[in-house]
Amino acid sequence: MKKINNIPKWITSIAMLLVASMAVAQVPPAGKYDTTSYPDDRKAIEKLIANDGDDQYLNDDYVSVSPDGKVYYGAEAWKQSLKGLKFKSIKPVPGTSILRIYNADAAVRNVIFDVSVITPKGDDALKLIVRETYVKQNGKWHIVGGQGTRMMSQEEQASLSLGSSVKPSYDAAPFTPPAGKYNTTNYPAERKAIEALRMLPDSATHLNDDYIAVGPEGRISYGLKQWQEGFATTAVKFKGVTPLWGSCFMRVYNGDTAVKNIIADVLFDTPKGDQYITVIRTETYIKQNGKWYFVGGQGTRKATAEEKENMGVKVSEKN
């Protein structure tokens, strides 16, 4: 297991999101985010959200992460996963939806849903934190990524029930994207600039504190300061990480938007002993005034067999 000071910032951020986000509120502070700019684009994105047609997706260049931690590469794979699901209701939580638009060609939407699922054990109520990323090309908006994270109960958080005491053992192949499906070589200079961000201090990598982080346990940090404040009181310590390198890739759009997908096994030192979790993480980057910034990160914990059953086996995010 690698030491924390020998690994890139983006990997340690997986642990930071899990630990730091435990102590923060779920409703965004009033007036913190710009939710009125680009009104015409906002209308177009809202229309896209309401549309279930195939033209939502950009050349099937889509990555979806469901709340049980499964990754679907392409819109068709995601749609197949929805077959047989039994939702009783899906309702957005008032006041939690934020749509940030950058450069009139990129957008990130964060929202919490109250979800009722019909399972073999009866109805199950869940709160899901959903993040969607949109890009605009040739005058049209498309969705290129979606991720759902289950919000753990206060009891689960208090018990520090993070994962398993047994190190994960499985074939990484299910997490690996199909060879050649995604463009991972375009904009080489931009890719180098984004990777270089991990060498800079946090204050230099976040855009006007316009940042939203979601931890794998389903807690939200609105802004860099709130994210950092969570470390002061936690009893959970990060010990190491094993990235599944075949699963890490980055898509760059229009030279000013990037989405990185990462999967890693993370080890924590807790009052109950070592705990392992597998985290599926998505990061979004935006370029403004010639400089790249980190505007959002979300982690989803790979669910246990029992958790999958309680979530209806294959519960997926709404979009």
Q: What is the mean pLDDT of the chain?
A: 79
Least confident of 66-70, 99-103, 290-294: 66-70
| pLDDT at residue 309, as a whole number | 59
- Tell me how far CA of residue 176 lies from CA of 26, 122, 188, 261, 300, in angstroms: 32, 34, 22, 11, 16
Least confident of 3-7, 90-94, 106-110, 244-248: 3-7
Strands 98-102 and 106-119: antiparallel
What structural domains does the chain harbor?
A: 4-154+162-303 (3.10.450.50)
Both tokens assigned to 183: 């463009």
Alpha-carbon gap, residue 182 to 116, rounded angstroms: 34
Percent of the chain with pLDDT strictly greater than 90? 38
Alpha-carbon gap, residue 195 to 78, rounded angstroms: 29
Alpha-carbon gap, residue 288 to 7, rounded angstroms: 27
pLDDT digit string (tens) for 166-216? 666 555 455 688 889 999 999 999 999 999 987 776 666 777 788 999 988
Other C-beta atoms within 10 Å of 92: how many? Answer: 13
| pLDDT at residue 79, as a whole number | 82
| pLDDT at residue 18, as a whole number | 43
Alpha-carbon gap, residue 148 to 27, rounded angstroms: 17
CA-closest candidate to residue 106, choices 137, 76, 73? 137
Backbone angles phi, psi at 131, to 5 degrees: -125, 130
- Tell me how far CA of residue 92 lies from CA of 114, 128, 315, in angstroms: 6, 9, 16
